[in-house]
Structure 1
């Protein structure tokens, strides 16, 4: 480790790759902490945009004459839009770096957010939600960026805090969009139909500004602009995007982490999508109160996902990879049981209490998942991040399509669907027991390489 000194251009202590070995989120020192703040703020704006529609659904449904099936299909579309974009984002980051990738996706999807103001029927509603969903690919770039800036001993907490603070955008928009809508009606004297349309100028503008900030002030790596190089030979790699992608796709650990993430973060996305409408209809609340309750679920990310990262790093220091995997399994299983309980709760205040507990555990599980990702493959870090991130949106599509599509031919009550979602979470966490890392073992197996051979293993990991 290199301590900060007069001859070192970094304000934080760094390792041999100039990655920070300390994480200080309340500073903005370049390049490490400035990258952290740009990453989470940019991703925050994407979450804000993606979930700006659900809290205004009662008003939008009236004006566009949407059916429950239309709303369900749009919910699926909003996540389907980010599946392939997230998978593509991994190789894009590997080739171009996180700054260019982040700014490009934000600038390309901001017009889709603005287009929400001009929706006129169910088809345009579904298409707009699909296009806006592409912005969530920036989650992969955010995690890639943190893994490029922070050393292994703090990378999980850096990933957890960045993603956690960014995910607050999904709750913040549930709270803010109804307030903007009410302000435009009560103070500006706009009609309901005009008010919700004008409200979408706010997330579109916000997303554009954050993209420009990343371009102006962002830095890919501690030493400057991103350049894909071979850590083994020290020379520029000639690998193309297909080779990078194929190398990551062959790693079975990425597939298991994708499944796990699909039923923690994917469930979180689905819950963000249906919670306001659920409380609005189940307990006959007004739009602002239902939005405030739904907001509490997303706002919990400010502490819950970072807590998952902290737990992952601490368990990693004490017990190695075994500690990271066991803590992930325990937390996500607890989240599944709480999700099941939410669907069985029949009182308003009981449901609110369960939502608060459920939000903490399911979001912490997301942080714990990305506490494992950086150790899967250094060579295809972006691809593994993309596979895991795509798993999150695929999980959201599956749960939304199977349980909350509003299909008249196979209709279940929302509370029953929520309970079934919890059961799926518990079962889809079990494959974690199959994960094995030669240098640190798995949940039940010892490592093949003793500590004295760690340097040899690190060399092998770079080749994966």
Structure 2
């Protein structure tokens, strides 16, 4: 078996690969094409979109004075910034399944970049809301980012690839808290008045986003073996039907549960990005730069926390399989909710900063752990399930901001406490996720009642199988046997 695997590995790949030509190793500091090059293109482009989407919050104390924004206006704009991506993420998932992550990502990035440029001419609460709404669509690049990782990396390292790509991309919310006040201060130092300086500042994130879109078009590659379009024309990849891909994805209840739980890890992260700088600025009477630096520390945790979530998911899976991935996700996300509750209760600046940082580590680690599970929900409709889960993050952000942070119904500290309770409650449905071939949280794979092939081939009818559309699912089923856990995997190996 080992000899056959080695002989099937093409010499053109710098990394060892499996039968689908997906890399079985993750070498962070490599630029090897196509696997690691795709990784770096994906996280950098997502990073730039994050910077664009959250470029406004660090400058809100200046923008609100210039545009006469009320607390309700600011709340509505924050909600608008994450609303558009709800549906865009689902659309991006389907686009990835049908056209590939390269075209899906580059198209969205370049289509939303003009909205970032147009922020510089916003002149009223309505126009400010609109530019934030359309800029927020770019957050849907998260879906091509994650889909790209599943196209390039094998099951044993997929959680790591997901976690690092998503985590480093999410660093954009940290970077923008530092970049925008610095750019603003520099422009003011050069002689511009503050109401002009904040407008000029938006050309920086707009330019970064535009360049990242062209970089994907020029240097990106959909799959280890080439581009979606080229492989489909040559017959090496069959083209699936939109309706069947979409229906197969949305009917899978596990995707909906992951969308809910992601709504209260990533959705909470988006909410904090919109409120935290203003929260510290107003509650503790801090300077704008100081509040921005504190807010940046929340996103800074993404350097390690979300990647650690993916790495932990992979490591625990080697011993306990899918059951371990699910338990780790539930425990970490619940602890994130506990620390969120504590953050809303403390009144000391120092303690608030410490608790906020610990809270950020848990909630971002939960994001990485979530996408340690996502790739295994569906092979045929991976993009749709990824889009549903990613969209759930935005839905969670919208609902949380509408309920707790819009207007003056709750103080921000009260809203943060209630948000923590929501995190704890919305983590409970993880217990209902069940894979027939691997079981769930409370029942490990003692006796196999189904195989990986049974599960993934059930997504195809006889017509699809006759056309050979199921071949990729067969390969994925074989490469995902590690999700049984080491004990069951060893017993299955000994039996054969």
TM tier, shorter chain?
A: over 0.9
Work out the CA distance in 1 between the residues paired with 2:24 and 2:121: 48
Query: TM-score scaled to structure 1, two decimals?
Result: 0.95
- CA distance 1:163–1:238, shift in 2 (3 Å): closer
Work out the CA distance in 1 between the residues paired with 2:322 and 2:83: 32
Work out the CA distance in 2 between the residues paired with 1:194 and 1:29: 44
- CA distance 1:245–1:442, shift in 2 (3 Å): same
Residue in 2 that maps onto 1:312: 313
Once the 2 structures are TM-superposed, how far is the Cα of residue 189 of structure 1 from its aligned partner?
1.0
* Contact residue 98 and residue 239 of structure 2 kept, 8 A: no
Once the 2 structures are TM-superposed, how far is the Cα of residue 3 of structure 1 from its aligned partner?
5.0
Q: Are 1:12 and 2:10 matched, yes or no?
A: no
Work out the CA distance in 2 between the residues paired with 1:285 and 1:425: 29
Matches within 5 A, 1:60-459: 60-186=63-189, 188-226=190-228, 237=238, 239-406=240-407, 408=408, 411-447=409-445, 450=448, 453-457=451-455, 459=457
Q: Deviations over 1:205-229 (max 9, x none)?
A: 0000011000000000000012599
Once the 2 structures are TM-superposed, how far is the Cα of residue 116 of structure 1 from its aligned partner?
0.6
Q: Deviations over 1:169-213 (max 9, x none)?
A: 111100110011011112x11100110000000000000001100
Once the 2 structures are TM-superposed, how far is the Cα of residue 4 of structure 1 from its aligned partner?
9.6
Residue in 1 that maps onto 2:482: none
**Count of residues in correspondence between the two structures:** 457
Q: Are 1:40 and 2:43 matched, yes or no?
A: yes
Q: Deviations over 1:268-322 (max 9, x none)?
A: 0000110000000000001000000000101110100000001100111110111
Work out the CA distance in 2 between the residues paired with 1:6 and 1:248: 31
Work out the CA distance in 2 between the residues paired with 1:47 and 1:248: 27
Q: Deviations over 1:134-181 (max 9, x none)?
A: 000100010000000000000010000000000001111001100110
- CA distance 1:457–1:229, shift in 2 (3 Å): farther
Residue in 2 that maps onto 1:53: 56
* Contact residue 24 and residue 33 of structure 1 kept, 8 A: yes
Work out the CA distance in 1 between the residues paired with 2:81 and 2:360: 21
Work out the CA distance in 2 between the residues paired with 1:213 and 1:248: 30
Once the 2 structures are TM-superposed, how far is the Cα of residue 9 of structure 1 from its aligned partner?
0.4
Question: Which residue of the other structure, out of 34, 42, 67, is the alignment partner of 1:31?
Answer: 34
Work out the CA distance in 2 between the residues paired with 1:314 and 1:48: 31
For structure 1, which segment, 160-169 or 447-456, has the greater mean C-alpha deviation from structure 2 after superposition? 447-456
Work out the CA distance in 1 between the residues paired with 2:7 and 2:19: 13
Q: Deviations over 1:363-390 (max 9, x none)?
A: 0000000000000000000000000000
- CA distance 1:247–1:448, shift in 2 (3 Å): farther
* RMSD value, Cα: 2.0
Work out the CA distance in 1 between the residues paired with 2:278 and 2:249: 39
Work out the CA distance in 2 between the residues paired with 1:229 and 1:364: 36
- CA distance 1:155–1:227, shift in 2 (3 Å): farther
Work out the CA distance in 2 between the residues paired with 1:51 and 1:38: 20
- CA distance 1:396–1:445, shift in 2 (3 Å): same
